């Protein structure tokens, strides 16, 4: 006989419990998933009791895990939101409005366990019930809010006994993207509207996919192209069901869509750009839009989704900023914006002479060639009918070879982007077994 | 001491097995899911053995269940295909081409355990490995094929030890729709491109949803509107994320799209209908298309998806078949088709006088009003740019209120419909935990 010390006994007791198929399994599964070693199992002949011997150090974790297994919905998801700008706040508002409905109709129990911006963070209590909804939007001013500390934030979420946890990166920068692989491996799902991670090197892109598989967790980013429009999701399903991409073509920038939908020759190009800037449609420095880099980023994401091994630098980009204006300060640039007008006017005249209109498009060919360029389209073409700041994408595939599958609509803005992030969260819940 | 007879002992043995968290749980969970009662559990101190006492009658089932739990992918799905017409066959071809990829890249193990048409059926063996791919398309002529027997077919699929099972109803009629609730309750997921079930009475529609919840199984029918186009899926996600439908409007019939995209006044309406019939674009009796019933059915499905409590009879349908021609035999009707031409020509003239074009559309309003009608649209409208036999749907919602979300493309045909059924199968796999 050998005596082991520091052991605990955890017992589940209930009338006729043992004769109900599955109870013992659920009990032991919960311990297994929580990483609790079981030294011995005993089931009393009374059929009212199943007991396990475990390490004493594991006892608190084991108790919580078993409690979760029997009393929580399997779709209980702990959410950590990083970034509370326009998109993050809008997401919280939309989630607030649907929380009760999700719980009652779909059994999805979303708990916002932490919200953090660049300065402050607010975390929920040890009961893991989530930050109360009423504090979501004002979290930074809550008396329990602390200075933002990403490590502390992640650890708080990570020490959870909820069945699932997800980090939503709603920041605009690249501060957190290099943590995605680590997060995925350590048990977090990751959702982001941020394009940065998917436009890094192919090596980094692949490292995220490897981490997804290693951690059996999911990385969701449907809003990277076209915000709430079902563009990436559709492409993914076409590819997964064995369709082959022949050409993807689209107007992928709301800003440039607006500019060329408006540019009909009556007003100089530079005036339209200035007007768009005044309306807040362009970045403060319009060159950030006119350079085509944003469109190129979206093209990389689409091409990679379609299975192409492509880097951002492989994309041929026709910048709409004349070379002579590229190195100017923003103010100088705006002053001299009209210097590009003759070139744009002659492009437009060429298109008009063929009864066509100008659109700034991104194109991915089956061959792997990808380009961002100014092109002209006949008036019967779907791209000609664009108006407002709509995005449009047409998928020419083996199945849609005669006529493409086309998706069109507003492809930017906090409301539709947040809705897309929300849809990703529901897709995640669905993949965890929630009914859709 | 009381002696119980007819008991079996099932033991799992493996080096260090017991110290690996989760093994005991998986073992007991598998038994629980298979409905096997456990009378007693013992775990040897050697840490190489976990044994359970079960009823002798359960022993074969228990052994298979445990085997499945440890040796099968969790995304092993047994499929029964009913209906092997154009869509069913195309689905099998597409699945054949992707089977290996699904298994290796996504861990999804699809096994076609039975194929049945109205005359013959072919089932797989007791090993549940599925009918060999090579026999799929020629199943009806296989030496082991039998006379079609739906009950036998369902029982064969139902006695499965695979983790999941699904019935795909690819028939065109309504022979099987009344079994859907029962199938869902008894453990089958159901996928169908067939519109019949979703256009029955609201009571029946709801009974399917109740059965889904009761059986914790899913009913998938994304191809009911627009075939492979992401129309129903998009509507569902908009609603689930709290968007509110203001108006859904669309050209939902490929046949009527073609007819009105072609009808420009140069050729009489009746000639275009006859030409479309010759090309196989219409039903053998074109009145089945021109009556608007097919569009009304799709409208009911969209409206119900958006949460409206609507019956097929609530939809106002403007039939394109003149009253005087409704009761004729098909041959008589085709002979007298041109009698409707003056009416259609004057409709077209009215539209042209406003510089508009005619389209046959379905419209659902927020108020619950739904109608199928001939309407005219300015040339700048997205519906005017339609060509071929494309479908188009525009979603005007709270979030897409300024500009709608629009989806356009071929919305019929075996290839894109089968692809949509395949996409539903992958959505199902995803909801069972497969990576996407």
Q: How is A351-364 classified by DSSP, letter by letter?
A: HHHTTEEEEEEEEE
CB–CB contact B228 A399 (8 Å): yes
In CATH terms, the superfamily for domain B7-71 is: VC0802-like (3.30.2130.10)
- As a whole number of angstroms, the distance between CA B147 and CA B170 comes to 18
Q: Which among A244, A312, A43, A423 has a CA at the least distance from the CA of B241?
A: A423
Write out the residue limits of the CATH 3.30.360.10 domain(s) in chain B.
231-410
**Range A414-436 average pLDDT:** 86
Q: How many CB pairs under 8 A join A and B?
A: 227
Predicted confidence (pLDDT) at residue A42 exceeds the cutoff of 90: no
B24 neighbourhood in chain A, CB within 8 Å: 28, 32, 38, 41
**Range A26-50 average pLDDT:** 74
Structure tokens at A184: 């995925």
Active-site residue list of B: 298
Predicted confidence (pLDDT) at residue B316 exceeds the cutoff of 50: yes
- As a whole number of angstroms, the distance between CA A332 and CA A268 comes to 18
DSSP assignment, residue A98? H
Which residue is catalytic, options A298, A309, A313, A373? A298
* pLDDT tens column, B258-276: 999 999 999 999 999 999 9
Predicted confidence (pLDDT) at residue A250 exceeds the cutoff of 50: yes
A374–chain B nearest CA distance, Å? 22
B30 neighbourhood in chain A, CB within 8 Å: 25
Predicted confidence (pLDDT) at residue B30 exceeds the cutoff of 80: no
Which of B48, B58, B237, B396 is the mutation pick for testing A, counting most A CBs within 10 A?
A: B237
User: Which of the pair, A50 or A419, is modelled with greater confidence?
Assistant: A419
The verdict on B99 touching A (C-beta cutoff 8 Å) is no
Percent of chain A having pLDDT more than 70? 95
B217, closest residue in chain A (CA to CA): A435
- A126 catalytic residue (yes or no): no
Write out the residue limits of the CATH 3.40.50.720 domain(s) in chain B.
75-228+417-431
Only one residue has tokens 């309406």, namely B269
Radius of gyration of the CA atoms of chain B, in A: 27
User: Which of the pair, B45 or B217, is modelled with greater confidence?
Assistant: B217
B422 neighbourhood in chain A, CB within 8 Å: 241-242
Predicted confidence (pLDDT) at residue A43 exceeds the cutoff of 60: yes
Q: Which among B207, B194, B114, B193 has a CA at the least distance from the CA of B154?
A: B114
**Range B403-430 average pLDDT:** 94
CB–CB contact A31 B25 (8 Å): yes
* pLDDT tens column, A2-14: 777 788 888 888 7
**Range A349-360 average pLDDT:** 97
Structure tokens at A386: 């664009």
CB A45 within 8 A of CB A13: no
CB–CB contact A407 B406 (8 Å): yes
- As a whole number of angstroms, the distance between CA B148 and CA B176 comes to 13
**Range A253-262 average pLDDT:** 95
CB–CB contact A98 B242 (8 Å): yes
CB–CB contact B230 A228 (8 Å): no
The residue count for chain B: 436
Predicted confidence (pLDDT) at residue B436 exceeds the cutoff of 50: no
pLDDT attached to residue B355: 95
A307–chain B nearest CA distance, Å? 13
CB–CB contact A234 B236 (8 Å): no
Q: Whole-number mean pLDDT of chain A?
A: 91
- As a whole number of angstroms, the distance between CA B180 and CA B198 comes to 11
User: Which of the pair, A44 or B152, is modelled with greater confidence?
Assistant: B152
A residues 29-88 closer than 8 Å to B (CB): 29-43, 45, 50
CB–CB contact A435 B35 (8 Å): no
CB–CB contact B430 A431 (8 Å): yes
Which of A100, A212, A242 is the mutation pick for testing B, counting most B CBs within 10 A?
A: A242
Structure tokens at B267: 């050729």
In this structure, are strands B38-43 and B188-191 parallel, antiparallel, or unpaired? unpaired
B403–chain A nearest CA distance, Å? 6
pLDDT attached to residue B391: 97
Q: B297: which residues sit within 8 A by CB, 6+ positions away?
A: B195, B199, B312
CB–CB contact A212 B240 (8 Å): no
User: Which of the pair, A281 or B203, is modelled with greater confidence?
Assistant: B203
CB–CB contact B37 A29 (8 Å): no
* pLDDT tens column, B209-231: 999 988 889 999 999 999 999 99
For residue B45, name the pLDDT band (cuts at 50, 70, 90): low
As a 3-state breakdown, chain B gives helix, strand, coil percent values, each rounded to 5, of: 45, 20, 35
Q: CA end-to-end span of chain A, whole Å?
A: 55
Which of B18, B20, B22 is the mutation pick for testing A, counting most A CBs within 10 A?
A: B22
B184–chain A nearest CA distance, Å? 13
CB–CB contact B403 A388 (8 Å): yes
A98 neighbourhood in chain B, CB within 8 Å: 240-242
- What is the H or E stretch that residue B156 is in? helix B150-158
Closest CB to A241: pick one of B50, B380, B426: B426
pLDDT attached to residue B13: 80
Query: Which architecture does CATH list for B231-410?
Result: 2-Layer Sandwich (3.30)
Name which of A46-60, A193-207, A343-357 the model is least confident about. Answer: A46-60
Which of B38, B42, B383 is the mutation pick for testing A, counting most A CBs within 10 A?
A: B38
How many CA within 13 A on the CB side of residue B57?
3
A240 neighbourhood in chain B, CB within 8 Å: 98, 106, 423, 426, 436
Predicted confidence (pLDDT) at residue A262 exceeds the cutoff of 50: yes
According to DSSP, the residues that pair with B49 across neighbouring strands are B13
Predicted confidence (pLDDT) at residue A436 exceeds the cutoff of 50: no
CATH of domain B75-228+417-431: 3.40.50.720
pLDDT attached to residue B395: 98
For residue A44, name the pLDDT band (cuts at 50, 70, 90): low
A residues 223-252 closer than 8 Å to B (CB): 228-230, 233-234, 236-238, 240-243
pLDDT attached to residue B268: 97
Q: B264: which residues sit within 8 A by CB, 6+ positions away?
A: B348
Outline where B165-268 has alpha helix (H).
180-185, 202-215, 231-240, 254-262
Predicted confidence (pLDDT) at residue B38 exceeds the cutoff of 90: no
Sheet with A75-82: list strands edge to edge. A146-147, A120-123, A108-116, A75-82, A164-169, A188-191, A219-220
Write out the residue limits of the CATH 3.30.2130.10 domain(s) in chain A.
7-71
């Amino acid at each position: 006989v050998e005596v082991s010390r520091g052991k605990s006994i955890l017992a589940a007791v209930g009338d006729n419990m043992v004769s109900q198929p599955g109870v013992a399994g659920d009990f032991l599964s919960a311990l297994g998933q929580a990483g609790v070693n079981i030294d011995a199992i005993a089931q009393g002949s009374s059929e009212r009791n199943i007991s396990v011997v475990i390490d004493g150090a594991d006892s608190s974790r084991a108790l919580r895990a078993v409690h979760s297994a029997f009393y929580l919905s399997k779709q209980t998801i702990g959410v950590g939101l990083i970034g509370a700008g326009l998109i993050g706040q809008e997401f919280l508002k939309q989630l607030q409005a649907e929380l009760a409905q999700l719980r009652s109709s779909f059994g999805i129990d979303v708990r916002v366990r932490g919200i953090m911006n660049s300065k402050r963070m607010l975390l929920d209590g040890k009961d893991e019930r989530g930050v109360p909804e009423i504090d979501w939007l004002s979290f930074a001013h809550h008396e329990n809010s602390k200075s933002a500390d990403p490590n502390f934030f992640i650890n708080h979420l990570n020490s959870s006994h909820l069945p699932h946890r997800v980090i939503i990166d709603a920041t605009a920068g690249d501060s957190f993207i290099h943590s995605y692989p680590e997060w995925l491996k350590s048990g977090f799902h990751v959702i982001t509207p941020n394009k940065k991670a998917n436009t890094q090197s192919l090596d980094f892109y692949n490292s995220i996919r490897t981490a997804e598989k290693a951690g059996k967790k999911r990385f969701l980013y449907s809003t990277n192209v076209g915000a709430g429009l079902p563009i990436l999701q559709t492409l993914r399903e076409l590819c997964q069901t064995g369709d082959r991409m022949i050409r993807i073509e689209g107007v992928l920038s709301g800003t440039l869509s607006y500019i060329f939908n408006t540019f009909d020759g009556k007003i100089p190009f530079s005036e339209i750009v200035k007007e768009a800037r005044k309306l807040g449609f362009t970045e403060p420095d319009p060159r950030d839009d006119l350079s085509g880099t944003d469109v190129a980023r979206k093209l990389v994401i689409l091409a990679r989704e379609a299975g192409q091994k492509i880097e951002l630098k492989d994309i041929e980009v026709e910048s709409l900023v004349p070379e002579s204006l590229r190195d100017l300060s923003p103010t100088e640039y705006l002053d001299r914006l009209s210097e590009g007008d003759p070139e744009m006017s002659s492009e437009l005249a060429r298109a008009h002479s063929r009864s066509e209109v100008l659109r700034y498009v991104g194109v991915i060919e089956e061959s792997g060639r990808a380009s961002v360029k100014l092109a002209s389209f006949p008036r019967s073409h779907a791209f000609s009918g664009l108006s407002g700041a709509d995005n449009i994408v047409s998928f020419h595939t083996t199945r849609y070879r005669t006529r493409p599958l086309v998706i069109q609509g507003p492809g930017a803005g906090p409301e539709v982007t947040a809705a897309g992030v929300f849809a990703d969260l529901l897709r995640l819940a669905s993949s965890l077994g929630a009914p859709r």
